Structure 1
Amino acid sequence: MATLTGVVTLAFVLFVCIIVRLTSNRRRRGRIPPGPWGWPFIGNALDVPNAYAWKAFAKWSKNWGDIMMLNLLGQRVMILNSPSLAFELLDKKSAVYSGRPAFPVITEIMGWERETALRPYGPALKELRKLITQTIGNRTALLGLSTSLEHEALDFLCRVMSDPKTLRRQVDRYTTASILRITYGYNIKEDGDELVNVVKRAVETLSLASAPGAYLADVFPILTRIPAWFPGAGWKRQAQAWRVHHTMMYELPFKYSKQQLQAGTLEPCFVSKHLEDCDDPEREALIADAASSIFAGMWATTIGAILAFFLAMTCFPEKQKKVQDEIDNIIGNDRLPCVTDLDRLPNVKALCWEVLRWHAIFPLGKSTHPINVGAPHRLTEDDVHAGYFIPKGTTVFTNIWAMLRDHRLYSKPEEFNPDRFVPSDGSEPEYDPRQICFGFGRRICPGMQFAEMSLSLVVAMTLSVFNISKPVVNGKVVEPSLQFAANLISHPLPFECDIRPRSAKAAALLSSALDGRA
């Protein structure tokens, strides 16, 4: 009996010690950041809406604060709703916050593991980002490629002038053409270009595969071990079939560049800059990885920004007049603006900044579209911040949409107002939206310079020759829809606009400029 009592006493003492140890650790580390209560096992999986989740997160932050923790099927997911928190964690503690969640279907099965945004942080990723930054993340280097960018912009404007109703298709074509030319030195043929179809199919299948809930295997990676022939494994057969699209996107344009380089006919581009005099197979593979990452990472961003610009000008035509007056006064109307003019056009810059702020193309910081450089961050170690304990393995999302509408940073953030970025009467410009929309920390977009230059050039050239307004049908003004897709890549929904040359001289100038560059 005494022995039994001793065992019970010892067990009780051990139990108390364990409780004390756990309690002291919890106090030392702090508590988990707050968030909405979830259900057993599934956590908050049913609470997060399928559409416009960023709006729900912004609303929840009023109750739970700017740092919020969710439980999605056992995975801890932290939402950051303010840029100051994003900088504190993702920038200042980047050594801990630069990991990536696993996307086993996209990487292991579909073959995207070599892309920049999906690689774990380490020496290979640093070298990839360095390659990209040296060419399209560096303004001086981009100036050497400006002739190609200007030619594609001219071609875009001429196509829009010929058939304004095809605006969306022409934006798509311009974006594809400019990125392929800057990256591979490839000039696309007319509509139906096979190489264009190859790269677009790869990016489109990636978008489908990276949608939330597309594959249960992304939540439970062990499912990737199921044989493709197994009943119910149709998802794996589909993913394996899509692998060929990435393989073709990776190999075909790079093969074209190598052939043209060997023949001495490749125009200046990303590949020509880095591949010339390269005789190291590993280095060549790294260049190919970086090149395919550029297209996949920049395509959706550029399309969304240009479409948002045309929508804003349609809805707020008075805003374009100020920019047109600036272009007329500084550039004149005898030539079109070029890349070297952009630094002299502060109102063009302000308009571009407001487009980026007004419409968040990636409302969750590019965070749920894994190929993009702002894909979710993941903690590689435990962290304690502001008294909160944040466990290793936590996935971190930045609510870019909420940040760009933060009343602490922007006055009347719901309004489209480029003047907020133009200093006047001694007032300072409001917060630079580029510090938010291109991501944070060591995963910040390495192509942000290219994205901004491409948008600024299109804005300056478009407003120098076109007036954009609401269409009039049967004597009635058609009000465009200010609606944006609920997708993770949020482009403006289809809208109508009236695009006309500002004058006969402007139309002739555009046509002659393209003829002169042919």
Structure 2
Amino acid sequence: MDTQHLVASSQPTAYAAVSVILLLILCHAVIVWKNSPPSLSLPPGPKQVPFVGNALQLPMGYQERTFLSWGRTFGAVVHAKLFQTSVIIVNSVQVAKDLMDKKSENFSDRPRFALLGEVLGLGDTLPLIPYGDKFRRYRRWFHDAFLAQGVLVNYRPLMRRELSAMLKSLITHPNAYETHFFRYNAAIVLEIAYGHRVTSDNDSYVDLSERAMHAAACTGSAGSMLVDVFPILKHYPTWMPGSGFKIQLLKTRELLQSMLDAQYNVVKNTLRSGGVKNASFASNLLEAHYCDGSLSQQDDTDIRGASGTLYAASTESMSSVMRTFILAMVLHHEVFKKAQEELDRVVGPDRLPDWEDRDNLPYLVSVMKEVYRWNVPVPLAVPHVVGRDDVYQNFKIPAKSLVIGNIWGMSKDESLYPDPDSFKPERFLEMAPGSLADPKNMVFGFGRR
């Protein structure tokens, strides 16, 4: 009886103790909740469809226009989803620099490029390499070859020689200006990368490169095509219905690999047989490894990829800029007349302009800046990948998100370029040094490249 009474009398005490503990836990939780920072939301963006996100809202071509439309609705930073992948779309130069330049340690990686990297075999070129040791190795090679003190001056005689050849071709066959532009750029890069001198308008390597680069350009932007979203499509059998895309991609791959191999193998074989006539980017790297006594398979792959980067990344884009210049001058004769008057006044009729004349040709320099802005050579920057969760302007940027710089959209930013659809070189005449509006801040991409 006493035991039962003791147990019965202790139960209220136990219940009270448990209640006090639970109350303390609840109070602690409330205090922590009140003092904790509010959970961050993702940047605003278009309404998503279950499972597919915003994938069905993107057109197959001219995606930069859709991105700009979203930017005008939701702001400079837009969040979208391609199936299960978060995508941060940047339509502002300042935001792009804040994320991919100032936070480059976290925003420098690359996604998997199933189309360009794997199907077309360009995975060893610098724009597509993930951030890591291989990337840093390439950067060191390029810095030594092009950014070291006084190096670029050494290429000026080559550029003057090829400029003369191009001008002669333009006088003889003016209607073939597109071919002359590509030959000019290809000849410069071929000699720098591989030591190959172009001596005729029918150079087989230039012809191969022109066909390969045109085929590659027709495949679409990096990271934006269906094969990138569904990498399994790279295994789609060529005998099945609907395989036309795969057959065309394989033909493009063959052209690109021939372009990357042709001159590189010439350099390797010439070095093995006694030395090269013209030193080049590829020959210098190969010779350094041969002198060290070894050239591993990885060394060989990396030197081939780095040399190919020079060629693949510059010939078509620079030719595009030159074609835009012709279009702008045809459409805007008053601009052409002003530039010609300045050139005649500063340079005169007896010689060609040179690098030393640049500071005395402010209007012509402004024309070239407007050419870059008015029709950017690459509308979308190569996508970056976020390494870990980040925060920008109180928005959460999730790890593994794609970050796409809409360069075309940035070129239409009315806060930097009033009346952006008009060709107005004058907008750059009064531009302060280091201005955010300078097209070089966007047309060459962002981050550690």
TM-score (norm 1): 0.71
Verify: 1:55 aligned to 2:74, yes or no.
no
Verify: 1:405 aligned to 2:419, yes or no.
no
Match of 2:130? 120
2: CA distance, partners of 1:336 / 1:158: 13
- Match 1:90 to one of 79, 100, 119: 100
After superposition, residues 287-306 of structure 1 pair within 5 angstroms as: 287-306=303-322
CA contact (8 A) 1:410 1:430 kept: no
1: CA distance, partners of 2:50 / 2:371: 42
Residues 42-92 of structure 1, C-alpha deviation per residue, up to 9 Å, x if partnerless? 222222233433223222222211111112223221111111111111111
C-alpha spacing 1:114/1:304, structure 2 compared with 1 (3 Å): same
- Match 1:422 to one of 404, 429, 448: 429
Match of 1:378? 385
C-alpha spacing 1:330/1:264, structure 2 compared with 1 (3 Å): farther
Match of 1:514? none
Match of 1:512? none
- Match 2:48 to one of 38, 45, 55: 38
Verify: 1:436 aligned to 2:446, yes or no.
no
Instruction: Tell me the CA shift for residue 31 of structure 1.
Output: 0.8
Match of 1:245? 255
C-alpha spacing 1:227/1:164, structure 2 compared with 1 (3 Å): closer
2: CA distance, partners of 1:139 / 1:213: 35
Task: Spell out structure 1 runs of 4+ moving beyond 6 A.
Answer: 212-215, 226-234, 426-430
Instruction: Tell me the CA shift for residue 35 of structure 1.
Output: 0.7
CA-based RMSD: 3.2
Instruction: Tell me the CA shift for residue 227 of structure 1.
Output: 6.9
Instruction: Tell me the CA shift for residue 168 of structure 1.
Output: 1.8
Range 270-279 or range 247-256, more displaced = 270-279
Instruction: Tell me the CA shift for residue 135 of structure 1.
Output: 2.9
* Aligned sequence identity (%): 33
1: CA distance, partners of 2:180 / 2:132: 39
- Give the letter aligned to residue 271 of structure 1: A
Verify: 1:335 aligned to 2:351, yes or no.
yes
C-alpha spacing 1:352/1:287, structure 2 compared with 1 (3 Å): same
Larger Rg: 2
2: CA distance, partners of 1:236 / 1:335: 51
Verify: 1:318 aligned to 2:334, yes or no.
yes
2: CA distance, partners of 1:306 / 1:217: 31
1: CA distance, partners of 2:111 / 2:434: 39
Instruction: Tell me the CA shift for residue 353 of structure 1.
Output: 1.1
CA contact (8 A) 1:29 1:387 kept: no
2: CA distance, partners of 1:333 / 1:349: 19
After superposition, residues 160-179 of structure 1 pair within 5 angstroms as: 160-179=170-189
Instruction: Tell me the CA shift for residue 34 of structure 1.
Output: 0.8
Query: 1:423 aligns to what SS in structure 2?
Result: coil
Verify: 1:390 aligned to 2:406, yes or no.
no
Question: Aligned pairs, how many?
Answer: 412
C-alpha spacing 1:164/1:139, structure 2 compared with 1 (3 Å): farther
Query: 2:78 aligns to what SS in structure 1?
Result: strand
After superposition, residues 190-229 of structure 1 pair within 5 angstroms as: 190-210=200-220, 216-224=226-234
1: CA distance, partners of 2:145 / 2:223: 36
Residues 440-497 of structure 1, C-alpha deviation per residue, up to 9 Å, x if partnerless? 1113xxxxxxxxxxxxxxxxxxxxxxxxxxxxxxxxxxxxxxxxxxxxxxxxxxxxxx
TM-score (norm 2): 0.81
Match of 1:488? none
Residues 152-186 of structure 1, C-alpha deviation per residue, up to 9 Å, x if partnerless? 11111111111211122222222222221222221
Residues 242-299 of structure 1, C-alpha deviation per residue, up to 9 Å, x if partnerless? 4433332222111223455665553354334444444141455433221101111112
1: CA distance, partners of 2:201 / 2:278: 22
Residues 11-33 of structure 1, C-alpha deviation per residue, up to 9 Å, x if partnerless? xxxxx9xxx9xx99x97541111
2: CA distance, partners of 1:275 / 1:217: 35
- Give the letter aligned to residue 34 of structure 1: P
C-alpha spacing 1:241/1:54, structure 2 compared with 1 (3 Å): closer
Query: 2:81 aligns to what SS in structure 1?
Result: strand
Match of 1:467? none
- Give the letter aligned to residue 406 of structure 1: D
CA contact (8 A) 1:266 1:272 kept: no
Range 268-277 or range 184-193, more displaced = 268-277
Residues 125-172 of structure 1, C-alpha deviation per residue, up to 9 Å, x if partnerless? 122123223334568322101111111111111111112111222222
C-alpha spacing 1:182/1:63, structure 2 compared with 1 (3 Å): same
C-alpha spacing 1:224/1:322, structure 2 compared with 1 (3 Å): closer
1: CA distance, partners of 2:434 / 2:143: 30
Match of 1:473? none
The answer for unaligned runs of 5 or more in structure 2 is 1-25
2: CA distance, partners of 1:415 / 1:242: 36
Instruction: Tell me the CA shift for residue 301 of structure 1.
Output: 1.2
Match of 1:281? 295
1: CA distance, partners of 2:394 / 2:46: 19
